[in-house]
Amino acid sequence: MASKSLQASETSTVWTSSGGDKLLDMGGQTLTSARCGAYLDLGAAPRANWYEVVVVIGAYAAAPILGEHVEVRFTQSDDSTNFDGQPTTAPTATVEGTVTIAQSLNMVYCCSPAATVASATQVVQGRGLVKLTGRYVAPVVINWATIASFGNTGTDHSITLTPVPYEGQ
């Protein structure tokens, strides 16, 4: 008889400007800039290494050019202070970090959802799978648009991180 893999539901963490689990205010994020969210402590106990990431950019301040994209990366640390890419200001559990695009290049890449309609009201949503091995992790969002900042309402934008557990039967 064939074996089955069982995947149990796990608790997701949401980064947004308010009303989420962690702080990441992408409201009005300017073109060609990066933002770093507050860190999440994944814990010291055995845990999943793989995580599903869903990014939502709810609107732009002006119509983006087709194909321009948002890039999502994660900075990680084993001690909550020495993060990959050496952010200008390291994130804390409740405060966003400060990071440049150059610093983000040494962080783990996740996904790059792209604008598919030249409209300020379009929602850009994408998902990726990322392996996170550090205990403390924080998302970094890069707006690669050349003419459009993100919409000013921070709660229109979010990143959701969901563990993908190892299970077998």
Place of tokens 């993908």: 164
CA distance 19 to 131: 26
pLDDT, tens only, 74-113: 999 999 999 999 999 999 999 999 999 999 999 999 999 9
Query: Which residue from 109, 151, 153 is spatially nearest to 130, judged by alpha carbons?
Result: 109
- Paired strand residues for 22: 15
Backbone phi, then psi, for 154, in 5-degree steps? -60, -30
What pLDDT is attached to residue 22? 97
pTM, 2 dp: 0.91
Write down the domain spans for the chain: 13-164
What pLDDT is attached to residue 7? 60
Cα–Cα distances (Å) from 115 to 97, 123, 124, 130, 138, in that order, read 26, 8, 6, 22, 24
What pLDDT is attached to residue 147? 83
Q: How many CB atoms lie within 10 A of CB 2?
A: 3
Contact in structure between 25 and 154 (CB atoms under 8 Å)? yes
List of the chain residues with pLDDT < 50: none
- Classified by CATH at the fold level, domain 13-164 comes out as Jelly Rolls (2.60.120)
Residues 81-116 as b/e (b if ≥16 CB within 10 A, e otherwise) read eebbbebeebbeeeebbebeeebbeebbebbebebe
R_g (Cα) of the chain, nearest Å: 16
Contact in structure between 157 and 35 (CB atoms under 8 Å)? no
